[in-house]
Amino acid sequence: MRIPALLALCLLLNGCMNLGGNNVARVTTDYAATVKKVGLLCLVDDQINVSYLTSSAQESFFSRAALPGWDISAQVSGIMTPNMKRKGFEVIPIARSDELLGLYDSDFSYARTERIHEQLAAIAKAQGLDMVVVVARNVDADRVTKTNQKIRGYGLQKAFDTGAFAYGSIYVEAYDTRKFFVVGKATGFQSAPLPDGLWQGSFETAKGTATIPAETQDEVVKVLKKVVGDAVAIAAQEAGV
């Protein structure tokens, strides 16, 4: 079920950086030259996932936690906006809304971005956008602790026989709102060992909601900024945005 030696190597190398597999389409230079105004929409979950895995999925513990000082939309914008401006795009932020979140997040597994394409086209028409870039969670295999569970979005995870780690799994999609097709898409994954003292024993019994102690919140934010930021950057680079 697990390969401890591989886990140790991954964590030692600060996170087994992996690119987006075969499901990749890249925005070409010729296409980018036709684009002026680009909307940027972040639909990544704003709460972090906390997972403690036992030898049985039924006996594992999955929870979510709010983290003061953590703003996923600001993190995504801070990475994506400067890169997109360097490509010559005028970047227009699109506010996340309950309607968009409800459509795309209709199940807990994969981000269903195709369900919001009609809404993105309407937003683009109203704001004069040529393209919209959506940043959403990705669902990936548990490539760190090698269980049969899925890694979703970003968060903290530990298995009963491994060390704790932080991870980010992100999907970036560029959608042409003039001719209504996906012109670029890719995923990015990054993980890193969690420093001593940040994993809490209470995470191993939490279901639904976990609490991150105030004295560790700043350090958790620091670790997540790094892994999630790198995952976003990887996905954006592979998608060509």
- The Cα-based distances of 14 to 137, 157, 233 in angstroms read 21, 15, 16
**Looking at residue 89, what DSSP letter applies?**
P
Q: How confident is the model at residue 110 (pLDDT cuts 50, 70, 90)?
A: low
Q: How confident is the model at residue 19 (pLDDT cuts 50, 70, 90)?
A: very low
Residue spans per domain, the chain: 4-239
Whole-prediction pTM: 0.87
Which pLDDT tens digit goes with each residue over 25-79?
999 999 999 999 999 999 999 999 999 998 777 788 999 999 998 999 999 999 9
Evaluate if residue 151 carries a pLDDT over 90. Answer: no
Query: Can you give the pLDDT at residue 9?
Result: 34
Which pLDDT tens digit goes with each residue over 201-217?
999 999 999 999 999 99
Q: How confident is the model at residue 111 (pLDDT cuts 50, 70, 90)?
A: low
